[in-house]
Amino acid sequence: ERLTDLEKDEEDGKDGKKENEEDPEDEEARKLKEKEEEEEKNRLPPNERIKKLRMDVHDNTVRLWERAKKSRDEIVGDKALKSNAQPALNILRLFVDRFVANEIKTLRHDDTRGAEAKLRKFLKQGAEILSVAALADVQATLSTLAMHFNYRLIARSGSPDIKNKCAALLEAVGEVPQLAEQFVQQMEADLADQKDRDRRRKERMAAEQREREARGDFSGDAGSKDTKQEAKQEAKQEPKDQKDQKKEANGGYPETKAPEATKKPDPFADFDFAETKKPQATAAKAAPKSEAVVAKKEDDRGAIQAAVKQKRTSWDAAFDHPYAGALKSNGTGIYCRPCQRWIVTYEYNTEVFCTHVERVHPKPPPGWSV
């Protein structure tokens, strides 16, 4: 029966093509109608045009979703077939291995801040890959993350905070299939209720329009304004009413301004030698410095001094020297590779090691290059 329906559809398609070929007038009429619709769209205001385009995009998206759902039901039927997850898992494994080789292996030991930055970078670059792989096979995705990424990152950082964040990542990836299924179900329910919502919205708008018409407002949708806008318009109309009352009091003539207000400066005032009292200008008083400003300056000065004397709590991430080997996690030593001994430092200070290199190794030892 399915094959028979397909053959009928093909025959109908062929007949439709023949009809289109045989009736060029209908084709011209259709093109003319499309042209008129396009011109009508261009004549619309920009806001209305944008609104109409959004509605068209929404309708096309809903139509596409319904077609995809129908095609899926036709292909799958009553059986829930599972797709091949191996391509998605291969892409995930390739991404994880490449990230570990380029980012994690270059990370210093006990560098918690750097490990946190690498974790954020991993999530930013691989969010889509993780989501698709989790939808395909969540168990394989979790094992790949735990064995090839989380283990190496935690071993490099040695921080319990990074360990907790990696555990939270595994938990979030495990919830991806459930959240995606909930999203799809919610979308299907919304699409199923869309017609009822549109009908209720139209009924509500019609009821509001009838109420406005009953009050004598026939402005349509434009009449539905906020009370604040109506109050502003009434406030603007009040001065006009007052001006109209003043005009009626003056016999319909506009109110004349006071002579002092309309008086212009005399251009020959320089030749008037009569003594006139000039208005004394108010002397500008120097505002005394407030105690808050003085206290703020003292606080800023103290903050600068505290920043200068601030103690480091970790090694500088930008420190990189070919002679430097391991770094003690408590900040009291850097291993010198040419000397093969520890150089004692204090408070994660790298200047002691640089001074040692300048004095002890002014020239590169045999087989070393700086």
Read off the pLDDT of each residue in 123-140 and give the average, rounded to a whole number: 90
pLDDT of res. 141 = 92
Least confident of 85-89, 123-127, 156-160, 221-225: 221-225
Percent of the residues in the chain that have a pLDDT greater than 90, as a whole number: 10
pLDDT of res. 185 = 84
For residue range 218-275, what is the model confidence (pLDDT) as tens digits?
A: 665 544 444 445 545 555 555 555 555 555 555 555 555 444 445 556 655 555 555 5
pLDDT bin (cut points 50, 70, 90) of residue 86 is: confident
For residue range 337-363, what is the model confidence (pLDDT) as tens digits?
A: 888 888 888 888 888 888 888 888 888
Percent of the residues in the chain that have a pLDDT greater than 70, as a whole number: 65
Least confident of 92-96, 255-259, 280-284: 255-259
Read off the pLDDT of each residue in 70-95 and give the average, rounded to a whole number: 76
Residues 6+ apart with CB under 8 A from 133: 85, 88, 89, 91, 92, 140, 141, 144
pLDDT bin (cut points 50, 70, 90) of residue 1 is: very low
pLDDT of res. 93 = 92
Residues 6+ apart with CB under 8 A from 265: none
pLDDT of res. 259 = 46
pLDDT of res. 348 = 85
**330-367 b/e with 16+ CB inside 10 Å = b?**
ebebbbbebeeeebebeebbbeebeebbeeeeeeeeee
For residue range 166-186, what is the model confidence (pLDDT) as tens digits?
A: 999 999 999 998 898 888 888
Read off the pLDDT of each residue in 42-51 and give the average, rounded to a whole number: 80
Closest alpha carbon to 142 in 171, 121, 118, 163: 171
Please state, in angstroms and rounded to a whole number, the distance separating the CA atoms of residues 149 and 96: 7
Residues 6+ apart with CB under 8 A from 174: 134, 138, 142
Read off the pLDDT of each residue in 78-82 and give the average, rounded to a whole number: 55
Least confident of 87-96, 232-241, 291-300: 232-241
Read off the pLDDT of each residue in 78-106 and give the average, rounded to a whole number: 83
* Highest mean pLDDT of the ranges 131-140, 242-251, 320-329: 131-140
Burial class (CB in 10 A: 0-12, 13-18, 19+), 294: exposed
For residue range 192-213, what is the model confidence (pLDDT) as tens digits?
A: 787 788 888 888 888 888 888 8
Tokens encoding 130: 């993780």
Residue 9 or residue 183, greater confidence: 183
pLDDT bin (cut points 50, 70, 90) of residue 90 is: very high
Residue 64 has pLDDT above 80, yes or no: yes
Which amino acid does the sequence have at 111? D
Other Cβ atoms closer than 10 A to 134: 25
Phi, psi of 278 (to 5 degrees): -85, 140
Residue 317 or residue 83, greater confidence: 317
